[in-house]
Amino acid sequence: MSGGLQITNASKSFGALTVLNDISLSVDPGGFLVLLGESGCGKSTLLRMISGLEDKHEGTIEIAGRDVTHLDPKDRNIAMVFQSYALYPHMSVFENIAFGMKIRRHAKADIKAEVGRVADILKLTDYLHRKPGQLSGGQRQRVAIGRAMVRKPDLFLFDEPLSNLDAKLRAEMRTEIKRIHQVLGATIAYVTHDQVEAMTLADKIVLLNAGRIEQLGTPEDLYMHPDTLFAARFIGSPQINAIEVTVHVSDDTLTAYVGDIALALPRNAARGIVIHGQTAILGVRPENLTLSDTGPIVTRGHGVGLCEPMGSETSVVLDFAGAALRMRVPGLVKLSQDSTQSVSWDMSGCHLFDPETGAHL
């Protein structure tokens, strides 16, 4: 499996604190894996374990079909881009990018040619003689990526590379990273807490929660078929509506009751057996709700809580039996705080979760 990554039963503890618990995953050569999760979930630790900067862990790590578990970082043939860029401030852009090749005693002509090639891809040619202190955040980020690219590694590791950039630059660099991935065909493991980065970049997302894999799958899998309430809540903005309901089962049909309001559910809202009268959490994405009083399921008389115009759409929060009901309404809509609204529900993509464990029913 040249160029891929395979992690088997990896665990890591700092003293009594277990930060990663029995992690197993694999990435195909040329794949883009995103390690996603909240702060402190162990995603950066996992990346550092792959890099070899964090040793003394359980389990095995294979890169490009080679067991690297006990190898030094320099012998793993990996390259890493740090959140802080970790550029050497006293070296020029050229020297920063060339550093790895210089250390490995490549010929000067080779170094020059290779740095030139990388600088060309990253549009850094005009800045090669500048020091990092004279560059903008985005340019520094590109230098850090260049330093990784020049090595031609088996695996690229990115540790929250865009989190120090402003929103506009972040979107540009995201596109840039995607482009580089396509140009190089490289295998990438990428840590982020930003679900937009994860959704746009990844072939495969590993969602980590408290040191365990919450869900592993394609971005579509995580969005359309979340295994747990945590996964459903983590992916998607505005957040999925999670409404406590009582499920009634009759003749193989499911109906969710919120007080005396009945919401008919498709059978695939639950994956397994649901007991009649069971309490559950109903997950409905904001985009599956529309402001309308026509449709198969309509609820009426919702007070307006919040109305945030975002430009192309408006984020609306309505009151639903005392709970917040988040919606995305196309275009710029202004709703009076005194008005009441009707909502049409599209239940085709809804999910039922266990209120205790958060698992999909």
Partner 1 sequence: MDFSSATAQRRLVIVGFLIVPLTLLAVFSLYPFFQLIWFSLTDWNGLSPDKTFVGLDNYHRILIEDRALLRPLINSGYYFIGSLMQLALATYFAVILSRGLPASNMFRMILFLPFVLNSVAVSIIFRDFLQLDGGLDALMTLVGLGDYTRQWVQDPDIVKWSLVFASIWRYLGFMLLITYGALQAVPVDQYEAARIEGASEWQQFRFITFPTIAPILGLQIILATVGSLEVFDVPFLITGGANGTKTFIMATLEEAFEFRRVGLAAAMSIILLSIVMVVIVLQRLLFQRGAVT
The residues of the shown chain that bind partner 1, judged by CB under 8 A, are 51-53, 72-74, 76, 78-80, 82, 84, 86-91, 99-100, 103-104, 131, 133, 147, 151
Tell me which residue of 316, 252, 257, 259 sits closest to 282, measured CA to CA. 257
161-184 b/e (C-beta count within 10 Å ≥ 16 → b): bbeebeeebbeebbebbeebbeee
* Closest among 314, 312, 313, 289 to 302, alpha carbons compared: 289
**Minimum distance, C-beta of residue 257 to partner 1, in the bound complex (Å):** 54
- Closer to partner 1 by Cβ: residue 66 or 212: 66
> At 211, is the secondary structure helix, strand, or coil?
coil
Q: Which is nearer to partner 1, 85 or 345 (CB)?
A: 85
State the minimum distance, in angstroms, from the CB of residue 35 to partner 1.
Answer: 18
**Minimum distance, C-beta of residue 195 to partner 1, in the bound complex (Å):** 25
Question: 189 and 27 in contact (C-beta within 8 Å)?
Answer: yes
Residue 18 C-beta: closest distance to partner 1, Å: 23
Q: Answer yes or no: are the C-beta atoms of 219 and 198 closer than 8 Å.
A: yes
Q: What is the DSSP letter of 295?
A: S
The rounded Cα 171 to chain-centroid distance in angstroms is: 14
CB of 80 to partner 1, least distance (A): 5
Which is it for strands 313-320 and 323-330: parallel, antiparallel or unpaired? antiparallel
**CB of 82 or CB of 257, closer to partner 1:** 82
CB of 356 to partner 1, least distance (A): 41
Cβ proximity to partner 1: between 69 and 299 the closer is 69
Residue with Cβ nearer partner 1 (79 or 229): 79
DSSP classification of residue 35: E
Residue whose CB is less far from partner 1, 156 or 345: 156
